[in-house]
Structure 1
Amino acid sequence: MTAPLVTILDDEPAIRSMLADALTEAGFRTMSFGRATEFEAALKTATPDVCLVDLSLPDKDGLTLVHRLALEQGATVIIISGRAQVQDRVTGLELGADDYIIKPFDPAEVVARIRARLRRGQSQPQSGNTARFNGWTAHFDSYILENEAGEETPFSHAEGEVLRLFLERPKRLISRAVMQETLGGAAGESFDRAMDVRISRLRTKLREDPKNPRLIKTIYGAGYIFLGDVSWS
Protein backbone atom coordinates (compact mmCIF):
# COMPACT_ATOMS: atom_id res chain seq x y z
CA MET A 1 0.00 0.00 0.00
CA THR A 2 1.45 3.35 -1.06
CA ALA A 3 2.09 5.83 1.74
CA PRO A 4 -0.09 8.99 1.67
CA LEU A 5 1.43 11.96 -0.14
CA VAL A 6 1.62 15.28 1.71
CA THR A 7 2.56 18.44 -0.17
CA ILE A 8 4.13 21.32 1.76
CA LEU A 9 3.77 24.85 0.39
CA ASP A 10 5.68 27.38 2.48
CA ASP A 11 8.18 30.08 1.51
CA GLU A 12 10.39 29.40 4.57
CA PRO A 13 12.98 26.66 3.81
CA ALA A 14 13.46 25.83 7.50
CA ILE A 15 9.74 25.11 7.96
CA ARG A 16 9.60 23.02 4.78
CA SER A 17 12.58 20.99 5.95
CA MET A 18 11.22 20.54 9.49
CA LEU A 19 7.82 19.36 8.24
CA ALA A 20 9.30 17.09 5.58
CA ASP A 21 11.60 15.41 8.13
CA ALA A 22 8.77 14.86 10.63
CA LEU A 23 6.37 13.53 7.99
CA THR A 24 8.95 11.25 6.39
CA GLU A 25 9.82 9.80 9.79
CA ALA A 26 6.08 9.21 10.37
CA GLY A 27 5.83 7.21 7.14
CA PHE A 28 4.42 9.79 4.71
CA ARG A 29 5.70 10.72 1.27
CA THR A 30 6.31 14.46 0.84
CA MET A 31 6.82 17.09 -1.85
CA SER A 32 7.89 20.62 -0.86
CA PHE A 33 7.44 23.94 -2.64
CA GLY A 34 8.43 27.52 -1.89
CA ARG A 35 6.16 29.16 -4.48
CA ALA A 36 2.54 28.64 -5.49
CA THR A 37 3.38 28.45 -9.20
CA GLU A 38 5.72 25.49 -8.62
CA PHE A 39 3.09 23.80 -6.48
CA GLU A 40 0.31 24.28 -9.06
CA ALA A 41 2.53 22.93 -11.82
CA ALA A 42 3.22 19.77 -9.77
CA LEU A 43 -0.53 19.19 -9.26
CA LYS A 44 -0.84 18.43 -12.98
CA THR A 45 0.96 15.12 -12.41
CA ALA A 46 0.77 14.54 -8.63
CA THR A 47 -2.34 13.74 -6.57
CA PRO A 48 -1.68 14.63 -2.92
CA ASP A 49 -3.73 13.22 -0.07
CA VAL A 50 -3.06 16.29 2.10
CA CYS A 51 -1.97 19.80 1.16
CA LEU A 52 -0.25 21.94 3.81
CA VAL A 53 -0.55 25.56 2.66
CA ASP A 54 0.97 28.72 4.13
CA LEU A 55 -1.12 31.85 3.53
CA SER A 56 1.80 34.28 3.14
CA LEU A 57 3.23 33.30 -0.23
CA PRO A 58 5.56 35.42 -2.39
CA ASP A 59 3.74 34.96 -5.70
CA LYS A 60 0.03 34.29 -4.97
CA ASP A 61 -2.62 34.88 -2.35
CA GLY A 62 -2.78 31.83 -0.11
CA LEU A 63 -6.50 32.12 0.63
CA THR A 64 -7.37 32.19 -3.06
CA LEU A 65 -5.25 29.09 -3.58
CA VAL A 66 -6.94 27.31 -0.66
CA HIS A 67 -10.36 28.04 -2.14
CA ARG A 68 -9.36 26.66 -5.54
CA LEU A 69 -7.78 23.57 -3.99
CA ALA A 70 -10.90 22.90 -1.96
CA LEU A 71 -13.10 23.05 -5.06
CA GLU A 72 -10.88 21.30 -7.59
CA GLN A 73 -8.82 18.76 -5.63
CA GLY A 74 -9.95 15.84 -3.53
CA ALA A 75 -7.14 16.45 -1.06
CA THR A 76 -7.52 17.52 2.52
CA VAL A 77 -6.34 21.15 2.82
CA ILE A 78 -4.67 22.28 6.07
CA ILE A 79 -3.59 25.90 6.44
CA ILE A 80 -0.36 26.60 8.34
CA SER A 81 -0.03 30.30 9.07
CA GLY A 82 1.35 32.93 11.39
CA ARG A 83 -1.98 34.76 11.17
CA ALA A 84 -3.52 34.03 14.55
CA GLN A 85 -6.59 36.26 14.46
CA VAL A 86 -9.95 34.49 14.78
CA GLN A 87 -11.17 36.14 11.57
CA ASP A 88 -8.24 34.71 9.61
CA ARG A 89 -9.06 31.23 10.88
CA VAL A 90 -12.75 31.66 10.11
CA THR A 91 -12.01 32.94 6.60
CA GLY A 92 -9.70 30.03 5.86
CA LEU A 93 -12.29 27.49 7.01
CA GLU A 94 -15.07 29.29 5.15
CA LEU A 95 -13.08 29.09 1.92
CA GLY A 96 -12.86 25.32 2.23
CA ALA A 97 -9.84 24.46 4.39
CA ASP A 98 -10.25 21.41 6.61
CA ASP A 99 -8.04 22.64 9.44
CA TYR A 100 -5.96 25.66 10.50
CA ILE A 101 -2.66 25.40 12.40
CA ILE A 102 -1.00 28.54 13.80
CA LYS A 103 2.75 29.12 13.72
CA PRO A 104 4.86 28.39 15.69
CA PHE A 105 3.78 24.77 15.98
CA ASP A 106 5.10 21.39 17.08
CA PRO A 107 5.68 19.14 14.01
CA ALA A 108 4.22 16.25 16.03
CA GLU A 109 0.92 18.14 16.22
CA VAL A 110 0.86 18.54 12.43
CA VAL A 111 1.50 14.81 11.99
CA ALA A 112 -1.26 13.97 14.47
CA ARG A 113 -3.78 16.24 12.75
CA ILE A 114 -2.96 14.80 9.34
CA ARG A 115 -3.41 11.26 10.63
CA ALA A 116 -6.74 12.19 12.24
CA ARG A 117 -8.00 13.72 8.97
CA LEU A 118 -6.94 10.71 6.92
CA ARG A 119 -8.60 8.32 9.40
CA ARG A 120 -11.87 10.20 9.04
CA GLY A 121 -11.56 10.07 5.27
CA GLN A 122 -10.92 6.31 5.33
CA SER A 123 -13.86 5.61 7.62
CA GLN A 124 -16.40 7.55 5.57
CA PRO A 125 -16.74 5.52 2.34
CA GLN A 126 -18.39 2.57 4.14
CA SER A 127 -21.78 3.89 3.03
CA GLY A 128 -20.60 4.29 -0.57
CA ASN A 129 -19.37 7.10 -2.77
CA THR A 130 -22.66 8.00 -4.46
CA ALA A 131 -25.82 9.16 -2.71
CA ARG A 132 -29.20 9.86 -4.32
CA PHE A 133 -31.81 12.03 -2.66
CA ASN A 134 -34.77 14.15 -3.78
CA GLY A 135 -33.71 14.41 -7.42
CA TRP A 136 -30.03 14.96 -6.63
CA THR A 137 -26.99 12.72 -6.91
CA ALA A 138 -23.90 13.46 -4.81
CA HIS A 139 -20.68 11.99 -6.22
CA PHE A 140 -18.19 11.97 -3.34
CA ASP A 141 -15.41 10.51 -5.48
CA SER A 142 -15.47 13.52 -7.83
CA TYR A 143 -17.01 16.16 -5.50
CA ILE A 144 -19.93 16.81 -7.84
CA LEU A 145 -23.65 17.42 -7.22
CA GLU A 146 -25.82 16.41 -10.17
CA ASN A 147 -29.48 17.31 -10.61
CA GLU A 148 -32.14 15.40 -12.58
CA ALA A 149 -31.27 17.34 -15.75
CA GLY A 150 -27.65 16.22 -15.51
CA GLU A 151 -26.37 19.67 -14.56
CA GLU A 152 -23.28 19.48 -12.35
CA THR A 153 -22.22 21.69 -9.46
CA PRO A 154 -18.86 21.17 -7.70
CA PHE A 155 -18.57 21.13 -3.94
CA SER A 156 -15.47 21.38 -1.76
CA HIS A 157 -13.94 18.63 0.35
CA ALA A 158 -15.06 20.48 3.49
CA GLU A 159 -18.61 20.94 2.17
CA GLY A 160 -18.60 17.26 1.26
CA GLU A 161 -17.80 16.27 4.83
CA VAL A 162 -20.86 18.16 6.06
CA LEU A 163 -23.09 16.82 3.28
CA ARG A 164 -22.02 13.23 3.94
CA LEU A 165 -22.73 13.69 7.64
CA PHE A 166 -26.29 14.74 6.80
CA LEU A 167 -26.83 12.02 4.21
CA GLU A 168 -25.60 9.29 6.55
CA ARG A 169 -28.02 10.45 9.27
CA PRO A 170 -31.22 11.43 7.45
CA LYS A 171 -34.19 12.53 9.57
CA ARG A 172 -32.08 12.59 12.74
CA LEU A 173 -31.12 15.64 14.75
CA ILE A 174 -27.43 16.48 14.37
CA SER A 175 -26.21 18.73 17.16
CA ARG A 176 -23.26 21.10 17.01
CA ALA A 177 -21.46 18.80 19.43
CA VAL A 178 -21.92 15.82 17.10
CA MET A 179 -20.70 17.88 14.14
CA GLN A 180 -17.61 18.99 16.04
CA GLU A 181 -16.86 15.45 17.25
CA THR A 182 -17.36 13.92 13.79
CA LEU A 183 -15.73 16.56 11.61
CA GLY A 184 -12.97 17.58 14.01
CA GLY A 185 -11.60 21.00 14.81
CA ALA A 186 -11.72 23.05 17.97
CA ALA A 187 -15.18 23.87 19.26
CA GLY A 188 -16.01 27.55 19.51
CA GLU A 189 -17.09 30.56 17.52
CA SER A 190 -14.80 29.93 14.55
CA PHE A 191 -16.03 26.33 14.15
CA ASP A 192 -19.70 27.36 14.45
CA ARG A 193 -19.33 30.13 11.89
CA ALA A 194 -17.47 27.85 9.48
CA MET A 195 -20.27 25.26 9.75
CA ASP A 196 -22.91 27.94 9.17
CA VAL A 197 -21.15 29.06 6.00
CA ARG A 198 -20.69 25.52 4.67
CA ILE A 199 -24.35 24.68 5.30
CA SER A 200 -25.44 27.94 3.66
CA ARG A 201 -23.36 27.09 0.59
CA LEU A 202 -24.78 23.56 0.44
CA ARG A 203 -28.30 25.00 0.57
CA THR A 204 -27.45 27.35 -2.29
CA LYS A 205 -26.04 24.49 -4.38
CA LEU A 206 -29.14 22.42 -3.63
CA ARG A 207 -31.24 25.42 -4.75
CA GLU A 208 -32.95 25.67 -1.39
CA ASP A 209 -35.09 28.66 -0.39
CA PRO A 210 -32.88 30.28 2.30
CA LYS A 211 -35.96 31.41 4.23
CA ASN A 212 -37.68 28.01 4.09
CA PRO A 213 -35.23 25.21 3.19
CA ARG A 214 -36.86 21.84 2.45
CA LEU A 215 -33.89 19.53 2.96
CA ILE A 216 -31.51 20.97 5.56
CA LYS A 217 -33.58 22.36 8.41
CA THR A 218 -32.18 24.41 11.27
CA ILE A 219 -33.52 23.41 14.68
CA TYR A 220 -32.74 26.56 16.64
CA GLY A 221 -30.81 25.90 19.82
CA ALA A 222 -30.40 22.22 18.95
CA GLY A 223 -28.70 21.72 15.57
CA TYR A 224 -29.77 20.56 12.11
CA ILE A 225 -31.86 17.81 10.53
CA PHE A 226 -31.77 16.49 6.95
CA LEU A 227 -35.28 15.61 5.73
CA GLY A 228 -34.52 13.86 2.43
CA ASP A 229 -34.82 10.18 1.52
CA VAL A 230 -31.33 8.84 0.80
CA SER A 231 -30.01 5.78 -1.04
CA TRP A 232 -26.32 4.90 -1.36
CA SER A 233 -24.35 2.98 -3.95
Structure 2
Amino acid sequence: MKAPHIAILDDEPEIRRMLSDALEEAGFRTTAYARAGEFEVGLKRSAPDVCLVDLGLPDRDGLALVHRLALESGAAIIIISGRAQVQDRVTGLELGADDYIIKPFDPAEVVARIRARLRKGRTEAAPSLQRARFADWVAEFDRYVLIAPDGTETPFSHAEGEVLRLFLDSPKRLISRAQMQEALGGGAGESFDRAMDVRISRLRTKLGEDPKNPRLIKTIYGAGYIFLGDVSWN
Protein backbone atom coordinates (compact mmCIF):
# COMPACT_ATOMS: atom_id res chain seq x y z
CA MET A 1 0.00 0.00 0.00
CA LYS A 2 1.44 3.35 -1.06
CA ALA A 3 2.05 6.08 1.49
CA PRO A 4 -0.42 9.01 1.27
CA HIS A 5 0.57 11.64 -1.27
CA ILE A 6 0.72 15.28 -0.14
CA ALA A 7 0.84 18.11 -2.70
CA ILE A 8 2.48 21.31 -1.45
CA LEU A 9 1.86 24.66 -3.15
CA ASP A 10 3.91 27.57 -1.77
CA ASP A 11 6.11 30.11 -3.53
CA GLU A 12 8.64 30.24 -0.68
CA PRO A 13 11.45 27.68 -1.23
CA GLU A 14 12.19 27.45 2.51
CA ILE A 15 8.57 26.57 3.30
CA ARG A 16 8.43 23.95 0.56
CA ARG A 17 11.66 22.38 1.74
CA MET A 18 10.67 22.43 5.41
CA LEU A 19 7.27 20.83 4.72
CA SER A 20 8.68 18.23 2.31
CA ASP A 21 11.38 17.20 4.78
CA ALA A 22 8.97 16.94 7.73
CA LEU A 23 6.32 15.04 5.78
CA GLU A 24 8.73 12.60 4.14
CA GLU A 25 10.36 11.92 7.50
CA ALA A 26 6.84 11.13 8.79
CA GLY A 27 6.34 8.58 6.00
CA PHE A 28 4.38 10.59 3.42
CA ARG A 29 5.11 11.04 -0.28
CA THR A 30 5.33 14.69 -1.34
CA THR A 31 5.37 16.81 -4.47
CA ALA A 32 6.08 20.52 -4.10
CA TYR A 33 5.17 23.37 -6.45
CA ALA A 34 6.06 27.06 -6.53
CA ARG A 35 3.34 28.16 -8.98
CA ALA A 36 -0.37 27.39 -9.25
CA GLY A 37 0.00 26.57 -12.95
CA GLU A 38 2.56 23.84 -12.22
CA PHE A 39 0.40 22.58 -9.37
CA GLU A 40 -2.67 22.22 -11.61
CA VAL A 41 -0.67 20.34 -14.26
CA GLY A 42 0.65 18.02 -11.54
CA LEU A 43 -2.87 17.27 -10.28
CA LYS A 44 -3.79 15.93 -13.71
CA ARG A 45 -0.91 13.45 -13.54
CA SER A 46 -1.42 12.26 -9.96
CA ALA A 47 -4.31 12.87 -7.57
CA PRO A 48 -2.99 13.69 -4.06
CA ASP A 49 -4.66 12.72 -0.82
CA VAL A 50 -4.09 16.15 0.74
CA CYS A 51 -3.30 19.55 -0.78
CA LEU A 52 -1.40 22.13 1.28
CA VAL A 53 -2.13 25.49 -0.35
CA ASP A 54 -0.64 28.91 0.37
CA LEU A 55 -2.97 31.83 -0.40
CA GLY A 56 -0.29 34.35 -1.43
CA LEU A 57 0.50 32.96 -4.87
CA PRO A 58 2.27 34.95 -7.61
CA ASP A 59 0.22 33.60 -10.53
CA ARG A 60 -3.27 32.88 -9.15
CA ASP A 61 -5.73 34.00 -6.50
CA GLY A 62 -5.26 31.44 -3.72
CA LEU A 63 -8.85 31.53 -2.48
CA ALA A 64 -10.25 31.03 -5.98
CA LEU A 65 -7.94 28.05 -6.40
CA VAL A 66 -9.09 26.57 -3.08
CA HIS A 67 -12.72 26.94 -4.13
CA ARG A 68 -12.12 25.18 -7.44
CA LEU A 69 -10.20 22.38 -5.74
CA ALA A 70 -13.06 21.91 -3.29
CA LEU A 71 -15.54 21.51 -6.14
CA GLU A 72 -13.42 19.39 -8.47
CA SER A 73 -11.03 17.40 -6.30
CA GLY A 74 -11.60 14.65 -3.78
CA ALA A 75 -8.47 15.65 -1.87
CA ALA A 76 -8.57 17.22 1.55
CA ILE A 77 -7.49 20.87 1.40
CA ILE A 78 -5.46 22.57 4.11
CA ILE A 79 -4.64 26.25 3.73
CA ILE A 80 -1.27 27.42 5.04
CA SER A 81 -1.15 31.21 5.14
CA GLY A 82 0.27 34.23 6.89
CA ARG A 83 -3.21 35.82 6.87
CA ALA A 84 -4.21 35.53 10.51
CA GLN A 85 -7.45 37.52 10.61
CA VAL A 86 -10.59 35.64 11.61
CA GLN A 87 -12.32 36.74 8.40
CA ASP A 88 -9.54 35.24 6.28
CA ARG A 89 -9.91 31.91 8.09
CA VAL A 90 -13.70 32.01 7.78
CA THR A 91 -13.51 32.81 4.06
CA GLY A 92 -11.09 29.95 3.43
CA LEU A 93 -13.32 27.47 5.23
CA GLU A 94 -16.43 28.83 3.52
CA LEU A 95 -14.83 28.28 0.12
CA GLY A 96 -14.23 24.62 0.87
CA ALA A 97 -10.96 24.24 2.79
CA ASP A 98 -10.93 21.52 5.44
CA ASP A 99 -8.44 23.23 7.74
CA TYR A 100 -6.46 26.48 8.06
CA ILE A 101 -2.94 26.74 9.52
CA ILE A 102 -1.39 30.15 10.18
CA LYS A 103 2.26 30.96 9.43
CA PRO A 104 4.66 30.73 11.17
CA PHE A 105 3.91 27.15 12.17
CA ASP A 106 5.63 24.10 13.63
CA PRO A 107 6.03 21.40 10.94
CA ALA A 108 5.00 18.84 13.58
CA GLU A 109 1.60 20.54 13.77
CA VAL A 110 1.13 20.21 10.01
CA VAL A 111 2.02 16.51 10.18
CA ALA A 112 -0.44 16.01 13.04
CA ARG A 113 -3.25 17.84 11.23
CA ILE A 114 -2.70 15.78 8.08
CA ARG A 115 -2.69 12.52 10.03
CA ALA A 116 -5.93 13.54 11.78
CA ARG A 117 -7.54 14.41 8.45
CA LEU A 118 -6.51 11.10 6.88
CA ARG A 119 -7.68 9.12 9.93
CA LYS A 120 -11.06 10.75 9.66
CA GLY A 121 -11.20 9.92 5.98
CA ARG A 122 -10.50 6.25 6.71
CA THR A 123 -13.36 6.07 9.22
CA GLU A 124 -15.90 7.23 6.66
CA ALA A 125 -18.16 4.75 4.90
CA ALA A 126 -16.53 1.94 2.93
CA PRO A 127 -16.53 2.09 -0.89
CA SER A 128 -19.69 -0.07 -0.97
CA LEU A 129 -21.49 2.62 1.05
CA GLN A 130 -20.80 5.68 -1.05
CA ARG A 131 -24.40 6.29 -2.17
CA ALA A 132 -27.20 7.50 0.11
CA ARG A 133 -30.88 7.84 -0.80
CA PHE A 134 -33.20 10.22 1.02
CA ALA A 135 -36.43 12.07 0.15
CA ASP A 136 -36.13 11.11 -3.55
CA TRP A 137 -32.58 12.49 -3.63
CA VAL A 138 -29.32 10.58 -4.08
CA ALA A 139 -25.93 11.64 -2.72
CA GLU A 140 -22.93 9.99 -4.40
CA PHE A 141 -19.86 10.56 -2.25
CA ASP A 142 -17.43 8.92 -4.66
CA ARG A 143 -18.34 11.52 -7.30
CA TYR A 144 -19.27 14.39 -4.95
CA VAL A 145 -22.66 14.97 -6.58
CA LEU A 146 -26.28 15.31 -5.49
CA ILE A 147 -28.85 13.84 -7.86
CA ALA A 148 -32.26 15.53 -7.71
CA PRO A 149 -35.55 13.64 -8.17
CA ASP A 150 -35.60 14.83 -11.82
CA GLY A 151 -32.09 13.48 -12.42
CA THR A 152 -30.29 16.83 -12.33
CA GLU A 153 -26.77 16.54 -10.88
CA THR A 154 -25.29 19.22 -8.61
CA PRO A 155 -21.69 18.98 -7.37
CA PHE A 156 -20.82 19.53 -3.73
CA SER A 157 -17.44 20.24 -2.19
CA HIS A 158 -15.39 17.93 0.02
CA ALA A 159 -16.19 20.16 3.01
CA GLU A 160 -19.93 20.21 2.23
CA GLY A 161 -19.79 16.43 1.81
CA GLU A 162 -18.38 16.01 5.31
CA VAL A 163 -21.33 17.91 6.78
CA LEU A 164 -23.86 16.06 4.61
CA ARG A 165 -22.41 12.67 5.55
CA LEU A 166 -22.58 13.61 9.23
CA PHE A 167 -26.31 14.29 8.85
CA LEU A 168 -26.98 11.19 6.74
CA ASP A 169 -25.12 8.95 9.21
CA SER A 170 -27.33 10.19 12.08
CA PRO A 171 -30.81 10.96 10.69
CA LYS A 172 -33.52 12.15 13.07
CA ARG A 173 -30.98 12.74 15.85
CA LEU A 174 -29.93 16.09 17.27
CA ILE A 175 -26.36 16.98 16.31
CA SER A 176 -24.94 19.74 18.48
CA ARG A 177 -22.30 22.26 17.46
CA ALA A 178 -19.88 20.56 19.85
CA GLN A 179 -20.51 17.19 18.18
CA MET A 180 -19.96 18.75 14.75
CA GLN A 181 -16.68 20.30 15.84
CA GLU A 182 -15.50 17.00 17.32
CA ALA A 183 -16.47 15.03 14.21
CA LEU A 184 -15.24 17.48 11.58
CA GLY A 185 -12.20 18.95 13.30
CA GLY A 186 -10.83 22.42 12.70
CA GLY A 187 -10.67 25.27 15.16
CA ALA A 188 -13.59 25.88 17.48
CA GLY A 189 -15.20 29.27 18.04
CA GLU A 190 -16.73 31.90 15.80
CA SER A 191 -14.86 30.94 12.63
CA PHE A 192 -15.97 27.29 12.89
CA ASP A 193 -19.58 28.25 13.63
CA ARG A 194 -19.76 30.62 10.68
CA ALA A 195 -18.14 28.11 8.36
CA MET A 196 -20.73 25.48 9.39
CA ASP A 197 -23.57 27.97 8.87
CA VAL A 198 -22.35 28.65 5.34
CA ARG A 199 -21.90 24.96 4.45
CA ILE A 200 -25.35 24.08 5.77
CA SER A 201 -26.88 27.03 3.91
CA ARG A 202 -25.26 25.85 0.67
CA LEU A 203 -26.45 22.29 1.19
CA ARG A 204 -29.99 23.56 1.76
CA THR A 205 -29.80 25.58 -1.45
CA LYS A 206 -28.55 22.56 -3.42
CA LEU A 207 -31.37 20.46 -1.95
CA GLY A 208 -33.96 23.06 -2.98
CA GLU A 209 -34.89 23.84 0.61
CA ASP A 210 -37.00 26.83 1.63
CA PRO A 211 -34.53 28.80 3.81
CA LYS A 212 -37.36 29.99 6.06
CA ASN A 213 -38.86 26.54 6.52
CA PRO A 214 -36.41 23.77 5.52
CA ARG A 215 -37.94 20.31 5.55
CA LEU A 216 -34.77 18.21 5.72
CA ILE A 217 -32.06 20.10 7.66
CA LYS A 218 -33.80 21.70 10.65
CA THR A 219 -32.11 24.20 12.94
CA ILE A 220 -32.88 23.70 16.62
CA TYR A 221 -31.92 27.11 17.97
CA GLY A 222 -29.48 26.96 20.84
CA ALA A 223 -29.05 23.20 20.42
CA GLY A 224 -27.90 22.23 16.91
CA TYR A 225 -29.41 20.54 13.85
CA ILE A 226 -31.60 17.55 12.96
CA PHE A 227 -31.78 15.83 9.57
CA LEU A 228 -35.40 14.69 9.18
CA GLY A 229 -35.27 12.45 6.11
CA ASP A 230 -35.24 8.66 6.03
CA VAL A 231 -31.84 7.48 4.76
CA SER A 232 -30.72 4.28 3.09
CA TRP A 233 -27.15 3.46 2.01
CA ASN A 234 -25.97 1.19 -0.79
The alignment's TM-score, normalised by the length of structure 1, stands at 0.99
Task: Tell me how far 1:191 sits from its aligned partner.
Answer: 0.2
Instruction: Kindly report structure 1 stretches of 4+ aligned residues shifted beyond 3 Å.
Output: none
Specify the alignment match of 1:3 in structure 2. Answer: 3
User: Does 1:187 pair with 2:188?
Assistant: yes
Paired residues in the alignment total 233
Q: Secondary structure at the match of 1:179?
A: helix
Alignment-mate amino acid for residue 79 of structure 2:
I
Specify the alignment match of 2:80 in structure 1. Answer: 80
Q: Secondary structure at the match of 2:21?
A: helix
Using the TM superposition, name which of 36-45 and 221-230 deviates more: 36-45
Task: Tell me how far 1:128 sits from its aligned partner.
Answer: 1.4
Q: Secondary structure at the match of 2:183?
A: helix
Alignment-mate amino acid for residue 80 of structure 1:
I
User: Does 1:154 pair with 2:155?
Assistant: yes
Using the TM superposition, name which of 142-151 and 10-19 deviates more: 142-151
Q: Which runs of 5+ in 1 are unaligned?
A: none
Alignment-mate amino acid for residue 124 of structure 2:
Q
Alignment-mate amino acid for residue 23 of structure 2:
L
State how far apart, in whole Å, the 2-side matches of 1:198 and 1:72 are: 16
User: Does 1:227 pair with 2:228?
Assistant: yes
State how far apart, in whole Å, the 2-side matches of 1:186 and 1:147 are: 33
Specify the alignment match of 1:107 in structure 2. Answer: 107
Specify the alignment match of 2:145 in structure 1. Answer: 144
Alignment-mate amino acid for residue 173 of structure 1:
L
Alignment-mate amino acid for residue 156 of structure 1:
S
Task: Tell me how far 1:150 sits from its aligned partner.
Answer: 1.6
Deviations for 1:134-160, whole angstroms, at most 9, x for unmatched residues? 011100011010112221000000000
Alignment-mate amino acid for residue 107 of structure 2:
P
Percent identity over the alignment?
A: 78
Specify the alignment match of 2:89 in structure 1. Answer: 89
Alignment-mate amino acid for residue 99 of structure 1:
D
Q: Which runs of 5+ in 2 are unaligned?
A: none
Task: Tell me how far 1:37 sits from its aligned partner.
Answer: 0.4
State how far apart, in whole Å, the 2-side matches of 1:136 and 1:13 are: 47
State how far apart, in whole Å, the 2-side matches of 1:226 and 1:75 are: 26
Specify the alignment match of 1:48 in structure 2. Answer: 48
State how far apart, in whole Å, the 2-side matches of 1:119 and 1:146 are: 28
Deviations for 1:108-141, whole angstroms, at most 9, x for unmatched residues? 0000000000000110114811100001110001
User: Does 1:166 pair with 2:170?
Assistant: no
Alignment-mate amino acid for residue 229 of structure 2:
G
Task: Tell me how far 1:187 sits from its aligned partner.
Answer: 1.0
Show the 5 A alignment for 1:195-214.
Answer: 195-214=196-215
Alignment-mate amino acid for residue 60 of structure 2:
K
The alignment's TM-score, normalised by the length of structure 2, stands at 0.98
Root-mean-square deviation (Å) = 0.8
